Structure 1
Amino acid sequence: MNKAVLPVCGLLFFAAVACQKIMPGSPESGEVVAEPISGLTSAQLNKHILGDKAFAKIYTPEEGLGPIFVQASCEGCHIGDGKGHPINIVTRFGKTGTGGFDYMEDEGGAQLQPRSIAGFQGEVVPGSHMFRTDRLPPLVTGLGFLAAIHDSTILNFTDSLDADGDGVKGTVNYLEPEP
């Protein structure tokens, strides 16, 4: 047997084992939640299918993608509508400022957008940051359940002082629409 075969075989074995540690596998079956719930009407199922298509759509620069971005589709981060996967960690950063936490909007905002369209460069974390964290994109499921609750129902549960004594306090968080 050729003396070079054994070292080459060893190197190939090492590379195969090392790649399994570096490259995470597919999401577990419990992490993929793309299927509709049972009992939907045909109209509800059609809405689900349309939503799934929009979620999986890969956007192009002609449709407004870029010049920098995290992923070209929602599903690029939230695989199977589930939580993110280690292969697509999201990097957040910021610093403390005179008025509290500074989201560094003047430097692109607090979420790293590492990808870019042709002719542009993806972002890098600014050197002026104080805090950095790598996170899995959150689970994206159940939004249809929340949308099905009428606003008045949510407002009726507002109890900022725990007036009913059940130990639960809460207010409605209003967000201003972007211009």
Structure 2
Amino acid sequence: MTAYDNGHSWLVAGAKIALPLAALALLSTLFLLAERVDPTAAIPYARINVEELAREQRVTAPQFAGMTEDGAALSITAETARPDPDGGPGASAAKLLAHMETAGGLVADLFSLSGRIDPSAGRVILSDGVRIETSTGYLLTTQRLEARTDRSEMVAPGPVQAQSPLGKIEAGSMTLMSNDGGVTHQLVFKDGVKLIYLPEK
């Protein structure tokens, strides 16, 4: 048996027993006072419907960019895109943004709440609140716009309202196209065109 001949030795020997016991007491207190975790409680920032994700395939923030045959740079982005449930080509998309810069310097920005992208067919269809703004001072709204991805051409088959440098324009349809290989473009309004001329002050 070990003999302790001074107070310091007794203190060290006592610390070797007391300190581990104190540590165990502290750990026990932590476990007893800690809040119980409810495994059934939902994490507020992880509310994900797993079944919906598995059932509906979709792509977040898809992007398409390319060059048309007549030299226009075209880029398209969307908030989400879903493939055709029947296995057809293309995909439906929500909140589309398109940007086109032609070889002749014309710039057009397009927006719609929904649409369809089909690069294999060389077209993009914008629908539901379509808005087009051009660098030539035109601001157009319509419900449907068909744009080509292989050439700088856009067609609005239905009614169009426009704010232009000349004034307000209403028409039954509209076409933006080029006849000289993309150098210049014509914005043609058709089918019952009405112009309210507003001269500059």
TM range (shorter): under 0.3
Structure-1-length-normalised TM-score: 0.24
The TM-score with structure 2 as length reference comes to: 0.22
- Quick check: which one's helix share is greater? 1
